[in-house]
């Protein structure tokens, strides 16, 4: 089981204990469905309610894509994108691009930006590829995703013919609403439903994440099992002293009250970069509202010790750090002995590279703590599907409890509409005539 260590959070046991009742109360409200945003609690018991039959269904669809595509483009943004990318990159070979012998399709992502150059380069790359497409959008109307999907659907049909395109385009969207649903039904695409009561950033364990992850060749059963085990280990009747999610939520809230307004998630493996990104969305969109909320930031270490390390060590003391630590690497590389020892590194000869990384991790932790940065450490035994499943659910439930402790509705995101309204007004979208006039007057 994942380990949580907050012995270096620079808090006393009394300070944390004082927040335990609040954490328990928040979890009770979550489990009873009496909290704010209670129409979006479908994620809470999702892992334990996913049936083997459902996973087989997702796998069967993934197998069709795997058999018919060398490349699969996942169109989606925010919660309809980050979870899949986080898991696929964490589990995949860092050099998948260069080493892929065709055993698994390459997974590419689109619809998460509106860059013309990105789409030009992507569509150019895809010209000689047997590519398939997954259109992931809960609302089915998100501009970034819809724009990329329209472009790529046409290319897929032109390159592969309408008949094959129908086989290799899949929709993951609402049961009834939205353009993605209308298109899927009209074209006869295979499709999966995003449950109404699961919000985007909590949807990685629905087909939003499971389908791309299965297409990439990873074990979705083990992923869900890890999440289900974490669900059981942190369920309603588990007391605070044993409940890792409640503890993480409580520690964050104590630190926030102590003036630590920024949480920096750190990893020591570049593969976890998108896990950071997924976490940032989860916590940022859930807690940043009503002029409150810890700002979720992230660093990849040791890389960023050579850029952000100075700030973390000696900048304003408004931060705390949460480190994801992986106990056992999947591969072994020994540092070689060198006769000449010109680099003076023979003291490392025979050691595993991971031992050096671990000492960097420990040295960083102690240095940052000495610099007044509270530290939380989350340790996973290995970076595999099962442990990632645990981590995902741990962060989801920790987020739900933490947001409720903060006094906000962690399951809405009213703030994300503002830019969309302006963009539509500026683009002259039908229905936005009044806003269009008002915004143009400001320019």
Contact residues toward ligand PA5 (CB under 6 A) are: 77-80, 137-139, 142, 145, 199-201, 285, 413
Least distance in Å: CB of 409 to ligand PA5?
A: 13
Please give the Cα distance from 405 to 22 (Å, whole number). 6
Least distance in Å: CB of 410 to ligand PA5?
A: 11
Q: Between residues 136 and 250, which has the closer beta carbon with respect to ligand PA5? A: 136
Q: Between residues 58 and 319, which has the closer beta carbon with respect to ligand PA5? A: 58
Least distance in Å: CB of 220 to ligand PA5?
A: 20
Closest to 364 (Cα-Cα) out of 321, 318, 328: 321
Q: φ and ψ at 243, to 5 degrees?
A: -95, 100
Q: Which one is catalytic: 3, 162, 176, 420?
A: 420
Q: Between residues 372 and 415, which has the closer beta carbon with respect to ligand PA5? A: 415
Q: Which one is catalytic: 186, 306, 331, 434?
A: 306
Per-position DSSP letters for 213-230, written without gaps between them = HHHTT--HHHHHHHHHHH
Q: Which one is catalytic: 263, 285, 361, 385?
A: 285
Looking at residue 383, the DSSP 8-state letter turns out to be: S
Q: Between residues 14 and 417, which has the closer beta carbon with respect to ligand PA5? A: 417
Q: Count Cα atoms within 13 angstroms, Cβ side, for 127.
A: 5
What is the dihedral angle through the alpha carbons of 31, 77, 412, 319, rounded to the nearest 10 degrees?
Answer: 80
Q: Between residues 142 and 325, which has the closer beta carbon with respect to ligand PA5? A: 142
Closest to 104 (Cα-Cα) out of 93, 118, 117, 120: 93
Least distance in Å: CB of 80 to ligand PA5?
A: 4
Cross-sheet strand order for the sheet of 319-328 = 3-8, 375-382, 319-328, 262-267, 295-300
Count of residues for the chain? 443
Q: Between residues 203 and 325, which has the closer beta carbon with respect to ligand PA5? A: 203
Please give the Cα distance from 209 to 393 (Å, whole number). 13
225 among known catalytic residues? no
Least distance in Å: CB of 43 to ligand PA5?
A: 11
| Cβ atoms 172, 47 nearer than 8 A | no
**Beta carbons within 10 angstroms of residue 435's beta carbon:** 16
Least distance in Å: CB of 202 to ligand PA5?
A: 8
306 among known catalytic residues? yes
Please give the Cα distance from 402 to 234 (Å, whole number). 14
Active site residues: 285, 306, 420
């Amino acid at each position: 089981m994942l380990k949580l260590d907050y012995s270096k959070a620079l808090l006393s046991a009394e300070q944390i204990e004082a927040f335990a009742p609040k954490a328990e109360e928040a979890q009770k409200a979550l489990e009873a469905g009496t909290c704010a945003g209670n129409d979006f609690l479908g994620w809470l018991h999702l892992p334990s309610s996913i049936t083997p039959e459902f996973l087989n269904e997702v796998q069967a669809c993934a197998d069709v894509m795997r058999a018919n595509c060398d490349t699969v483009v996942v169109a989606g943004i925010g919660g309809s994108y980050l979870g899949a990318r986080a898991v696929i990159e964490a589990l995949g070979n860092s050099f998948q691009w260069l080493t892929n012998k065709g055993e698994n399709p390459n997974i590419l992502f689109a619809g998460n930006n509106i860059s013309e150059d990105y789409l030009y380069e992507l569509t150019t790359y895809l010209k000689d590829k047997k590519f398939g497409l997954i259109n992931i959008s809960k609302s089915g109307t998100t501009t970034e995703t819809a724009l990329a999907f329209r472009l790529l659907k046409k290319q897929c049909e032109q390159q592969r013919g309408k008949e094959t395109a129908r086989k290799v385009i899949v929709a993951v969207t609402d049961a009834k609403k939205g353009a993605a649903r209308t298109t899927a039904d009209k074209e006869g695409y295979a499709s999966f439903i995003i449950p109404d009561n699961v919000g985007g950033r909590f949807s990685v364990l629905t087909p939003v994440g499971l389908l791309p992850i299965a297409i990439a060749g990873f074990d979705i059963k083990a992923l869900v099992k890890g999440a289900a085990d974490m669900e059981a280990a942190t369920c309603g009747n588990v007391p605070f002293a044993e409940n890792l999610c409640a503890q993480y939520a409580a520690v964050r809230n104590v630190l926030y009250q102590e003036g630590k307004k920024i949480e920096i998630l750190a990893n020591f493996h570049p593969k976890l970069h998108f896990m950071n990104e997924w976490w940032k969305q989860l916590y940022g969109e859930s807690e940043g509202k009503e002029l409150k909320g810890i700002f979720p930031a992230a660093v990849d270490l040791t890389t960023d010790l050579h850029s952000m390390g100075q700030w973390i060590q000696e900048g304003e003391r408004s931060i705390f750090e949460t480190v994801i630590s992986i106990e056992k690497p999947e591969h072994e590389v020994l540092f070689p002995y060198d006769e000449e020892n010109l680099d003076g590194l023979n003291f490392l000869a025979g050691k595993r590279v991971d031992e050096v990384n671990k000492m960097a991790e420990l040295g960083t932790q102690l240095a940052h703590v000495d610099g007044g940065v509270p530290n939380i450490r989350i340790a996973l035994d290995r970076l595999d599907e099962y442990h990632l499943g645990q981590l995902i659910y741990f962060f989801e439930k920790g987020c739900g409890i933490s947001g409720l402790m903060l006094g906000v509705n962690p399951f809405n995101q009213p703030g994300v509409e503002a830019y969309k309204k302006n963009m539509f007004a500026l683009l002259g979208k039908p229905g936005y005539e009044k806003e269009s006039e008002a915004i143009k007057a400001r320019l």
